[in-house]
Structure 1
Amino acid sequence: MVRIHPSILSADFVNLERDLGKIASADGVHVDVMDAHFVPNLTFGLPMVERIAEVTELPIDVHLMIDDPDTWAPQYAIDRVDSVTFHAEATRDAVSLARELRARGTRAAIALKPGTLVDAVIEHLPEFDMVLVMTVEPGFGGQAFMPDMLPKVEALRTKAEELGIELALQVDGGITADTLPIAAASGADVFVAGSAVYGHASPAERIATLRDAGRGAFDTGRIDLSAIHRGTAGKGLGADADDAAGSLDR
């Protein structure tokens, strides 16, 4: 299944309720919380998430790019928040935090920066409902999709299948109709897209285009997983990739 989670960082904050309505056909809404410490940018916090929950029917996918998620993440496990993602690099005890989030009724997810190996989570994989593999450095703009991150996705998908567990694998950073099929071919099934959705006249049409790109990942004849391992897949993927790289969290 291909699930599209548009990032509201590319929406118009002054008209956020309107822009949430434009993505009603999506599978969820991705909400990036940044604290200007764990990453250099500052966005918003729990009051904004609570307000979003009041005005959208979409499942809310909260991505916490913050220090001390062990203290703060459980506060985001509110009604209509489907999942809370915290970073492996920031938590003191990922397993305990994941268990607390699940106990509060939300799905527990853990994120990996590009420099973090899958070893940080793979031995405890059943404790998580989703793993987010960042395909850019979080919190920085002007970056391109990093296809050399996708062997992480492959390793996580392989391990999940070996264990017989249901695990969502999310990718975030430079996702477009060109890069999404490469990520899907590696085992990802949840895709965060910012300007690739909101940067076009019809966000609903772009969501449909991204879904179609994922469904056709193995039919295009241009997915070369060996190139992914060499870090050369996805180079020169067109204007959409450049557009996506320019959003705040890309």
Structure 2
Amino acid sequence: MINKSEADWLHLDVMDGEFVPNISFGFPIIEAVSKICKKPLDVHFMIMHPEKYIERTAKLGAMMMNVHYEACTHLHRTIQQIHNAGMKAAVTLNPATPVSMLEDIIGDVDMVLLMSVNPGFGGQTFIENTINKVKRLRKMIDEAGTNTLIEVDGGVNAKTAPILVKAGVNVLVSGSYVFKSSDPISTIKSLKNI
């Protein structure tokens, strides 16, 4: 279904039960998905020490490796290592982490993912303050003169998506809204047309 849809990427959430209170899947599943999915993979690591898995993620053909600011002690080094492995590098911020934390690295990342729910579980309610965070991040990116993309994940649906796009979001991640839809391909198309 994803291959037939207008989705640009497939976003994969890897959870370790430590950084977030849930466990999802690991490399065997990513490898299996990479063999059948024709869309570029945006692999979002909600784990402690994601830097340990850079080379392995690159070998599976991931287009983007997404790491949490809160999980990386040496974020600049991690971003460099992701790039050196041949992937695009993204940094994710939890809802309580201000965008100002990325001021000195914004020119080094390809994308910033703002979590609009607390990471770890699907189907949560959208946190309204995300709109203000998007606007602040868009201003920071514009002032820095970079091409950094803004991605939002959590509670993205027909109501929140247009507001997010208007605020400056480039990439929408939608899980429950798409996969619980009676017609996921049409739901994806409607999000693409915003």
Question: What per-residue deviation string (whole Å, max 9, x for no partner) do you get for residues 187-222 of structure 1?
Answer: 11100101211112321111111122x2xxxxxxxx
Using the TM superposition, give the Cα deviation of residue 51 of structure 1 relative to its aligned residue in structure 2, in angstroms. 1.4
* Amino acid corresponding to residue 95 of structure 1 in structure 2: H
Name the count of aligned residue pairs.
194
AA partner of residue 29 (structure 2): M
Q: Using the TM superposition, give the Cα deviation of residue 73 of structure 1 relative to its aligned residue in structure 2, in angstroms.
A: 3.6
Q: CA deviation at 1:99?
A: 0.8
CA distance in 2, matches of 1:64, 1:57: 21
**Partner residue of 1:134?**
115
Structure 2 CA distance for aligned equivalents of residues 48 and 185 of structure 1: 35
Alignment of 1:102-113 (within 5 A): 102-113=83-94
Which of residues 42, 60, 64 in structure 1 aligns to 2:41?
A: 60
The list of structure 1 runs, each at least 4 consecutive aligned residues, that deviate by more than 4 angstroms after superposition, is none
Q: Distance in 1 between matches of 2:8 and 2:61?
A: 13
Matches within 5 A, 1:89-168: 89-168=70-149
Give the drift of 1:78.
2.8
- Partner amino acid for 2:75? A
**Counterpart for residue 9 of structure 2:** 28
Matches within 5 A, 1:169-208: 169-208=150-189
Q: Which residue of 2 aligns with 1:49?
A: 30
- Report 1 or 2 for greater relative contact order, CA contacts < 8 Å, sequence distance ≥ 6: 1
Asked if the contact 2:3–2:39 (Cα under 8 Å) also holds between the matched residues in 1, the reply is no
| TM-score, scaled relative to structure 1 | 0.74
Where 2:71 maps in the other structure, the secondary structure is: coil
Instruction: After superposing the two structures, state which structure 1 stretch, 171-180 or 47-56, moved more.
Output: 47-56
Give the Cα separation in 1 of the matches to 2:123 and 2:33.
27
Amino acid at match of 1:115: A
Give the alignment's TM-score, normalised by structure 2: 0.94
**Alpha-carbon deviations, 1:121-161, whole Å to 9, x = none?**
12210110000000000003552111212222112211211
Aligned to 1:85: 66
Matched position secondary structure for 1:95 = helix
Structure of higher CA gyration radius: 1
Residue 50 of structure 1 deviates from its aligned partner by 1.4
152-161 or 125-134, which deviates more = 152-161
Contact 1:73 1:86 in 2 (8 A): no
Contact 1:70/1:93, CA 8 A, preserved across alignment: no
Deviation at 1:163, TM superposition (A): 1.8
